[in-house]
Structure 1
Amino acid sequence: MSKKGHIYRLFPGGNTSIGFYSYYNYVIDLKKAKRVYLIKGGPGVGKSQLMKNVGKVLVDKGYDAEFHHCSADPDSIDAVVFPQLQIALIDGTAPHVIDPKYPGAVDEIINLGEFWDENALKQNREEIIKSIDENGKIYKRVYSYLGAAKLVKDDVERIYKEVLLSSRLNNEFKRFKEEYFTDIKGTKKDSIQRHLFGSAYTHKGHINYGNTYLSYGNKTFFIKGSSLLIKSDLLNELSYHYIEKGYDITFYHHPLIPDKIESIVIPELDTAITTLIDVSDNKIINTDDYFNRELLLSYKDQTDESNSIFNMLMEIVYENLKRTKINHDFIESFYVPNIYFDKVDMLREKLLEKILGS
């Protein structure tokens, strides 16, 4: 391969209104995978850096790579997948504990815990336990405030639903589907669906990497509008057409309400449809155009109040996620000086040899 591979940046898990929510089972299809390396070990042992380094080498050699980012810290990697090789490296530690499903045949455990000075870590036992437990308490606070934010969002969504001119929206959406789906032929296979997060609530705010996984040029379409639920419903309706025709589809879910959708991607058609802003100018529809403006205006004080409270709650979420990051860095400070990173580097080289020789 002569040119570099493409890096897709994704989120397999998220901080949501119902707690930490995982789509890690969709990182790679274990029945199709050639090899999955489950990386175990505590904070600061180099799991993320190991995956990043392996990923960089293979991307430089021309292989595409999916970098699955951590919702707690988007600078950290929880998994890296090489679709052309059907190989993945996955962090198998909490909160996304993963155990081998097909030991030896597909899965292989890599234990970086073998490369730390256990006696030195025991000397900081009390501080480590206290800090890890404290992070658990902070995350409970995060999820409580996300739950409250969802309730406030529900209040606004109730108003959007009431003022929606459903028949007008449905007619316009029907016109688009008739125009767009006419030339899409069916396949002779069953559709396979994959689920991930399209964005994440992190200590750096609400982050998405849509510009990496929605990179389909003129075949990226945009649904605009204020209502999360209305846009998600339209994406759901569009997805049925692709599924019926047998196309594989990836659903990218919303971090506040994980069963709602931000984007869908149909790789076989080089097509993506998203609700994320600043990704595409190919607007399908603006759902706000189908609101009863006079009725919506009568609710302005209520929607303004609810949106203000929602933003306030989210600021508290981000501040607490910053606390988890500071606390995590403190925990890592006990581990990093006591890790034999030269041995981790040697393991990385052996791992690369195995992957490239597979």
Structure 2
Amino acid sequence: MEPTCPGAVERYVNLGECYDTPALKAIREELTGCMEGYPECYRRAYRCLAAAAQIEADRRALLLTPAVEARMVKRARGILSRECKRTGKEPGQAKYRFLDAISCKGVQCNFETAEGLCRRIYELCDSWGLAHPLLAYLAAGARAAGYDVILCPDPMDPERLRHVLIPALSLGFVSSTPTLPYPGKRPYRRLRIDAMADQEQLRRNKGRLRFSRKMSAALVDEAVEAMAQAKAMHDALEALYNPHVDFDRVHAQADAIAAELLERA
């Protein structure tokens, strides 16, 4: 991150002072060699994820009809009337936090974070990625009732929601899929988003949907593999660098910055 107003607002922290430069110069060829192809791994991963996101958007365009959205809004309205009594306070605030990630370790979701904040979990069984309208309506209703909400976007499409948490009510709405099922104990409630889809549309497009799911999964797998390759290169680079870094000096810099921040607090 480059400072926009160095000195006045931000400042540089030069960890390069902690290197044993002569020792690193001696292994220069090894250092450059283990990073060969590193940028291309990430470019390949991003291309694959972008393609997978387009396939999923095409699938939603087919299945997320106005009638389906209306059914979700109706269900969300019933949940809000039961769970979110008005507080009479000002509208609540929204914070955005990613609960999911696609990384070198695969597709992951920190469901335990949701369980730590919310004792009551609504599991949304959502094979096709359709839950956003229901979650958006729930989030808007909870905020209007005076509750702060945590909005958890879809890492493949951050404009869309995958989960909504309302800590003050100890109430969470988490999406689960066949590839990323909810691993916790029996949820407080289970909503079958799949059942709200147009069943005739699902039947008519069964082959197309099966193909799109297979292609999207293959692209995500390829992206994960590319990121795993990049991680292996990075680990090899760290193994070469670490013996030639004065970590006591690194920790001393961190302690000095922390002390300065605590003095201002």
Give the TM-score normalised by the residue count of structure 1: 0.62
Change (3 A) 1:249 1:173: closer
71, 79, 82: which one pairs with 1:176? Answer: 79
**What residue in structure 1 maps to residue 227 of structure 2?**
321
Report the Cα distance in structure 2 between the residues aligned to 1:166 and 1:218, rounded to whole angstroms.
Answer: 28
**What residue in structure 2 maps to residue 248 of structure 1?**
148
Letter in 2 for 1:272: G
**What residue in structure 2 maps to residue 197 of structure 1?**
98
Residue 247 of structure 1: how far off its partner (Å): 3.4
Bigger relative contact order (CA 8 A; separation at least 6) = 2
Change (3 A) 1:129 1:307: same
Worse overlay, 261-270 or 147-156: 261-270
Report the Cα distance in structure 2 between the residues aligned to 1:294 and 1:147, rounded to whole angstroms.
Answer: 29
Identity of matched residues, % = 21
40, 49, 53: which one pairs with 1:146? Answer: 49
1:116 is the counterpart of 2:22: no
1:99 is the counterpart of 2:3: yes
Instruction: Determine if contact 1:225/1:231 at 8 Å carries over to the other structure.
Output: yes
**What residue in structure 1 maps to residue 212 of structure 2?**
306
Change (3 A) 1:301 1:236: same
**What residue in structure 1 maps to residue 87 of structure 2?**
185
Report the Cα distance in structure 2 between the residues aligned to 1:273 and 1:247, rounded to whole angstroms.
Answer: 15
Report the Cα distance in structure 2 between the residues aligned to 1:186 and 1:222, rounded to whole angstroms.
Answer: 28
Residue 319 of structure 1: how far off its partner (Å): 1.0
Deviations 1:71-94 (A, max 9, x none): xxxxxxxxxxxxxxxxxxxxxxxx
**What residue in structure 1 maps to residue 40 of structure 2?**
137
Deviations 1:290-312 (A, max 9, x none): 23324312211111111111111
Worse overlay, 313-322 or 284-293: 284-293
190, 193, 208: which one pairs with 2:109? Answer: 208
Taking the TM superposition and a 5 Å limit, the aligned residue runs for 1:325-336 are 325-336=231-242
* Bigger share in helix: 2
Give the TM-score normalised by the residue count of structure 2: 0.81
1:161 is the counterpart of 2:64: yes
Deviations 1:191-240 (A, max 9, x none): 43322322111111011222024423433333222232x31221111111
Deviations 1:261-319 (A, max 9, x none): 12223334433322142346123522111233243122111111111111111111111
Report the Cα distance in structure 1 between the residues aligned to 2:5 and 2:92, rounded to whole angstroms.
Answer: 24
Report the Cα distance in structure 1 between the residues aligned to 2:192 and 2:6, rounded to whole angstroms.
Answer: 47
Residue 116 of structure 1: how far off its partner (Å): 1.1
Residue 339 of structure 1: how far off its partner (Å): 0.2
Instruction: Determine if contact 2:147/2:168 at 8 Å carries over to the other structure.
Output: yes
Change (3 A) 1:201 1:292: same
Residue 350 of structure 1: how far off its partner (Å): 5.1
Change (3 A) 1:167 1:233: closer
Report the Cα distance in structure 2 between the residues aligned to 1:257 and 1:117, rounded to whole angstroms.
Answer: 43
Change (3 A) 1:163 1:349: closer
Change (3 A) 1:265 1:113: farther
Tell me, which stretches of 5 or more residues in structure 1 are unaligned? 1-96
Report the Cα distance in structure 1 between the residues aligned to 2:244 and 2:63, rounded to whole angstroms.
Answer: 55
Change (3 A) 1:208 1:244: same
